[in-house]
C-alpha cells in the first residue's frame, strides 16, 4: 500500500495516458452518509476509465466520542454504552469490555455464565453472517436470496429475543456474569429451530456454488493474497478464507470456548465467492457449538455481586466478533470510572485490505467488494461523479449504481 | 466432530515472554506489570522502531492489534499491542506532550497505517514518515485548530461541544 500512497493523482494521469480507451481520470467520491444503513464511510475512488487505481478512505462520520464519554461514566454504565458501538455485534462489544474489566477484578466467572455468553455470541455470529449473505445477494442483483436469507435470520433474532428480551441490543453481559439465565424449558425449541437453520444454510451453500448470477459477480472478484492480508493485520473471516487459521475463539479461548468443540473453517484463497462459502460454513459450525453448549450447560448461578470500583491497573482483552478480532484496552485508577477505554473494531483492521481488494476492479464491482469485508458500510446512496476532462458532474443514487452494476454484467436484463 | 481443546503452543507463556524480554534487552526494554497472558515492556522512544523490527521479523509477532494512546500527565504513552496465539504483547513508549513526535512504523507494519492516523487525530502525535499525516481520519473537518486533541485529559467534553457548535 505504501508505494501507492505518495503518488499524486497527477502522476497517475501521466502514466495511464494512452493505456486505456478512456484515459480520462475520474474522481468518484463514495459516501459518506445514509441514515438507513449501518456505518457511513467515505471513499475517494480514483478511476482510469472503468478501472479503480487508488482509493482514499475518510471515516469518522459517526464518531461519537465514546472513548471520551467512557471516562465520565461509571464502570457499569459503560457496558450499555459500548454495546451501542455496533447495531449488529453488540454482544461482542459488551463481552470484550466486561472481560477487560474482569481481568482487573480477579474473581472467578460462574461456569453457567460462560456458556450463556458463548450461546449468545454464536447466535449473534449467525445473525450477522446471514445478514451479510443477504446483502451480498442484494448488491449482486439476486433479490430472492436476500429475501429468503433475511426471513431465516428472523429465527435467530426470535431466539435472541426469548433469551435476552431484545432482538439486537441484548444488554445481557455484565461484570462477572450475565444478567439473565436461559430457561431450561425453552432449550428443546431452540435446538429444533437451529437445526432448521442448518438445513437452510446447506441449501444456500448449494445456491452460492451453482447459481450463475452469483458466480459471475463474485468469482475472481476482490482477490488478495494471504501474505498481504498478514502484513495489513487483517482479521476475521477474511484471513480465514485466505487460509490463515487465526481465530480468537481457538487461539485465546474466552467464555466457554475451551469447553465446547469447534471446527475451524478455512479456505484456500480470498475472493468474494470464497468469502460467501466461508461465512456460510461458519454458520454451520456456530449452530453445532450452540447445540452442544445448550445440551451441556452446567447448573449454578449466572452472576456474582461485585463492588462498583475496579482496582488500579491496565488490561487488554479481545473477542472474535462476527467480523473478526475486536480489541478492548482498559485502564483503571482504582476509581468509580475508567481512566481510559480503547476500542478497536474489526472493520478498522480490515479497511486497508478492502482498499487493496478494490484496486484493479471496475466501478461496477465496488458495491460487491466493499460489502465483501462486511464493513457495516453505509454510503452507497450519496455519490457524485466528476469527469476531470470535461468537468461534467453528475450524481447517482445507490440504487442507480446497483442497477449499473447489474446491467454491466447482464446487459440483456432491463435497466 | 473432533473435540478441540485449548490450542497448544510450542513455547509456554513464560518461555515466550522471557525470550522476548531477552531479545529486547539490548534495546533497554524494561518489563512492567503483566500476567502470564499479557506482557508489558517499556522501551525508550529512540529504540521503538528497532524493537518492533525485532519482534515482527525475528520473534514472528506479525499481528499488531492496535496502537493505544494514553495521556499520563506530562507525556503521552503509546502502546503497540500485538496478538500472538494466546498472548498479548504490549510495547510501551512515551513521547513528550510539548513536542509529540515519533517515527512511523508503517514500513515495518503496513497494517498500522490507520492506527497511527487515529492516534494522530486523538492525541496530536505526529508520526514522522507517515504518508497521510496531513489528513484527518476520525475528527470532523471543522475541529478547531486552537483546541487541543480530544482525548487529552485537559480537553473537556464541554469545550469540544462548544467548539464544534453542538452546544452554545
For residue A340, being part of any structural domain is answered with: yes
For residue B5, being part of any structural domain is answered with: no
The reply to whether A122 and A255 lie within a common domain is yes
Q: Using a CB–CB cutoff of 8 Å, tell me whether A258 touches chain B.
A: yes
pLDDT at residue A397 in the model: 64
For residue B28, being part of any structural domain is answered with: yes
DSSP string, chain B: -----SPP-SS-HHHHHHHHHHHHGGGT-EEEEE-SSEEEEE--GGGHHHHHHIIIIIS----EEEEEEEE-SSEEEEEEEEEETTEEEEEEEEEESSS-EEE--TTT-GGGHHHHHHHHHHH--EEET-TTTTS-SSS-TT--TTSPPTTSTTS-HHHHHHHTTS--
The reply to whether A180 and A297 lie within a common domain is yes
pTM score, whole prediction:
0.86
Q: Could you give the ipTM of this predicted complex?
A: 0.89
For residue A96, being part of any structural domain is answered with: yes
pLDDT in tens, A243-259: 999 999 999 999 899 99
* Residues of chain A with C-beta less than 8 angstroms from the C-beta of B136: 58, 60
Q: Using a CB–CB cutoff of 8 Å, tell me whether A327 touches chain B.
A: yes
pLDDT at residue A365 in the model: 81
Among A60, A251, A252, whose Cβ lies nearest the Cβ of B139? Answer: A60
For residue B3, being part of any structural domain is answered with: no
pLDDT at residue A4 in the model: 41
* Residues of chain A with C-beta less than 8 angstroms from the C-beta of B10: none
- Which candidate in B113, B129, B166 is best for mutational testing of the A interface (most A CBs within 10 A)? B113
Domain count, chain A: 2
CATH assignment of the domain containing B45: 3.30.460.80
Instruction: Over range A388-409, report the average pLDDT.
Output: 62
The reply to whether A315 and A362 lie within a common domain is no
Out of A344, A376, A404, a domain closes at A344
pLDDT in tens, A342-360: 999 888 888 888 888 888 8
Closest CA of chain A from B22, distance in Å: 23
For residue A229, being part of any structural domain is answered with: no
pLDDT at residue A279 in the model: 94
pLDDT in tens, A62-113: 777 888 889 999 999 999 999 888 888 899 999 999 999 999 988 899 999 9
For residue A244, being part of any structural domain is answered with: no
pLDDT in tens, A22-64: 344 567 777 665 433 456 777 777 888 788 888 877 777 777 7
CATH assignment of the domain containing A315: 1.10.645.10
What range defines the domain where residue A365 resides? 7-58+348-413
The reply to whether A390 and A305 lie within a common domain is no
What range defines the domain where residue B152 resides? 13-163
pLDDT at residue A13 in the model: 42
Amino acid at each position: 500500500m505504501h508505494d501507492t500512497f505518495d503518488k499524486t493523482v497527477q502522476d497517475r494521469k501521466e502514466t495511464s495516458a494512452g493505456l486505456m480507451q478512456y484515459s480520462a481520470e475520474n474522481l468518484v467520491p463514495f459516501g459518506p452518509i445514509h441514515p438507513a444503513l449501518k456505518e457511513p464511510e467515505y471513499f475517494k475512488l480514483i478511476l482510469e476509465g472503468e478501472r479503480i487505481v487508488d482509493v482514499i478512505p475518510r471515516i469518522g462520520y459517526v464518531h461519537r466520542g465514546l472513548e471520551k464519554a467512557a471516562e465520565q461514566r461509571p464502570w457499569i454504565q459503560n457496558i450499555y454504552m459500548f454495546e451501542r458501538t455496533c447495531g449488529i455485534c453488540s454482544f461482542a462489544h459488551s463481552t470484550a469490555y466486561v472481560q477487560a474489566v474482569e481481568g482487573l477484578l480477579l474473581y472467578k466467572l460462574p461456569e453457567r455464565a460462560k456458556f450463556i455468553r458463548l450461546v449468545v455470541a454464536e447466535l449473534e455470529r449467525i445473525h450477522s453472517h446471514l445478514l451479510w449473505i443477504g446483502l451480498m445477494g442484494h448488491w449482486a442483483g439476486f433479490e430472492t436470496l436476500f429475501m429468503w436469507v433475511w426471513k431465516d435470520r428472523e429465527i435467530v433474532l426470535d431466539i435472541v429475543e426469548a433469551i435476552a428480551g431484545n432482538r439486537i441490543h441484548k444488554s445481557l453481559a455484565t461484570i462477572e456474569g450475565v444478567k439473565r439465565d436461559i430457561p431450561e424449558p425453552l432449550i428443546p425449541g431452540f435446538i429444533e429451530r437451529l437445526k432448521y437453520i442448518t438445513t437452510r444454510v446447506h441449501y444456500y451453500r448449494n445456491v452460492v456454488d451453482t447459481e450463475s448470477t452469483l458466480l459471475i459477480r463474485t468469482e475472481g472478484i476482490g482477490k488478495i493474497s494471504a501474505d498481504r492480508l498478514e502484513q495489513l493485520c487483517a482479521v476475521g473471516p477474511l484471513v480465514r478464507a485466505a487460509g490463515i487459521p487465526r481465530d480468537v475463539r481457538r487461539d485465546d479461548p474466552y467464555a466457554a470456548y475451551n469447553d465446547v468443540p469447534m471446527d475451524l473453517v478455512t479456505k484456500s484463497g480470498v475472493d468474494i465467492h470464497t468469502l460467501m462459502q466461508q461465512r456460510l460454513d461458519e454458520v454451520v459450525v456456530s449452530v453445532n457449538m450452540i447445540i452442544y453448549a445448550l445440551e451441556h450447560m452446567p447448573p449454578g448461578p449466572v452472576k456474582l455481586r461485585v463492588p462498583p470500583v475496579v482496582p488500579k491497573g491496565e488490561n487488554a482483552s479481545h473477542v472474535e466478533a462476527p467480523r473478526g478480532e475486536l480489541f478492548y484496552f482498559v485502564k483503571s485508577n482504582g476509581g468509580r470510572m475508567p481512566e481510559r477505554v480503547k476500542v478497536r473494531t474489526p472493520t478498522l483492521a480490515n479497511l486497508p485490505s478492502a482498499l487493496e481488494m478494490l484496486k484493479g476492479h471496475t466501478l461496477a464491482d465496488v458495491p460487491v467488494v466493499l460489502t465483501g469485508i462486511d464493513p457495516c458500510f453505509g454510503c452507497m446512496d450519496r455519490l457524485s461523479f466528476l469527469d476531470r476532462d470535461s468537468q461534467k458532474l453528475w450524481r447517482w443514487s445507490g440504487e442507480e449504481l446497483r442497477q449499473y452494476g447489474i446491467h454491466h454484467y447482464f446487459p440483456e436484463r432491463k435497466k | 466432530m473432533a473435540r478441540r481443546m485449548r490450542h497448544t503452543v510450542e513455547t509456554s507463556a513464560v518461555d515466550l515472554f522471557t525470550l522476548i524480554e531477552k531479545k529486547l534487552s539490548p534495546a533497554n526494554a524494561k518489563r512492567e506489570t503483566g500476567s502470564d497472558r499479557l506482557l508489558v515492556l517499556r522501551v525508550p522512544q529512540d529504540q521503538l522502531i528497532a524493537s518492533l523490527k525485532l519482534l515482527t521479523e525475528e520473534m514472528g509477532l506479525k499481528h499488531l492489534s492496535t496502537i493505544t494512546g494514553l495521556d499520563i500527565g506530562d507525556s503521552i504513552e503509546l502502546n503497540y499491542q500485538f496478538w500472538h496465539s494466546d498472548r498479548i504483547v504490549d510495547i510501551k513508549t512515551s513521547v513528550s506532550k510539548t513536542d509529540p513526535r515519533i517515527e512511523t512504523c508503517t514500513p515495518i507494519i503496513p497494517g498500522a497505517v490507520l492506527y497511527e492516523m487515529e492516534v494522530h487525530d486523538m492525541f496530536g502525535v505526529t508520526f514522522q514518515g507517515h504518508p497521510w499525516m496531513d489528513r484527518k481520519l476520525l475528527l470532523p473537518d471543522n475541529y478547531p485548530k486552537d483546541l487541543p486533541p480530544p482525548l487529552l485529559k485537559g480537553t473537556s467534553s464541554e469545550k469540544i461541544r462548544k467548539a464544534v457548535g453542538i452546544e452554545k
